[in-house]
Amino acid sequence: MNGEMQNKVVLVTGATNGIGYEAAKVLAGKGATIVGVGRNPQKCADAAQRIKSLTGNARVEFLIADLARQAGVRQVADEFKHKYDRLDVLLNNAGAFFARREESAEGLEMTWALNHLNYFLLTDLLLDVIKASAPARIVNVSSGAHTGAKSINFDDVEFKHGYSGWTVYSHSKLANVMFTYELARRLAGTQITANALHPGFVATGFGHNNGGLMRTGMNVVQKIAAKTPEEGAATSIYLASSPAVEGVTGKYFSDSKETRSSAVSYDVAAQQRLWQLSEEMVRVKVQA
């Protein structure tokens, strides 16, 4: 443990495996207090114990919730604020790919609920404690897949018609980027930065929830072409901790370098429309 992030509190969603786990582990190794979020109690307990053992940092705990449910997102925010009065880094990482259309327990399409509304609502609910901790950072894990979406499908963001798993996933990742840009603009002057990133194609559990041929095919492709989870987590870790990006906001990164996102992602009117729609779907008025 090198103490580089001593006295910093970091919340990482989707932290029981893959790039979320690797990011939590490395940031714990830098001395940060880590609060992970996962759905499975046993996986959460195992991940916390592994991180503590590997880093020598005892300040690691997990909150258990299903972030595809807005009730779960609210639960995480409430539990976090009950225990902590500061949040230096919010790393929104939890997400998934759904080959077939599914709905959450609250009746929302799963990809949109987990990959976008989760980021939007959790950020809003924790914004007061983030502001109180400034300078602070919000890091949103998106994907290069966002370039596959031509625009936000405002007429049918839940794809009740014409569902295609990859199209819908790309759409949600475009929403991540556009949300980040609008958030950064609204937080200008607050010493809170908001950036999005592409982790690369990473050998994680991505797509394995679909089972069958999808799971088998994803395993094969990942073995041939994918980054390791450690490599995939590098940009998240960089944006969460590097002095080199202190004060940098409203940007998109890949391989720990600032790069351009898709042309449509810079449409300010669409960003603002997405923000308004997201507020309506989570029934809050965001104070950013």
- Domain parsing of the chain, residue ranges: 9-282
Q: Which regions in the chain score pLDDT beneath 70? A: 202-226, 284-288
Name the pTM for this structure.
Answer: 0.91
Whole-number pLDDT of residue 203? 60
Whole-number pLDDT of residue 285? 56
Is CATH 2.40.50.140 correct for 9-282? Answer: no
Whole-number pLDDT of residue 214? 47
pLDDT tens-digit readout, 220-251: 434 444 578 888 999 999 999 999 999 999 99
Taking CA 87 as the corner, what is the angle to CA 58 and CA 113, rounded to the nearest 5 degrees? 105
Whole-number pLDDT of residue 202? 56
Looking at this protein, which amino acid is placed at residue 78? Answer: D
Whole-number pLDDT of residue 213? 46
Taking CA 267 as the corner, what is the angle to CA 152 and CA 248, rounded to the nearest 5 degrees? 110
- Catalytic center residues: 169
Taking every pair of Cα atoms in the chain, the longest distance, rounded to a whole number of angstroms, is 51
Whole-number pLDDT of residue 286? 59
pLDDT tens-digit readout, 215-225: 444 444 344 44
> Torsion angle, CA of 232/129/122/76, rounded to 10 degrees?
90
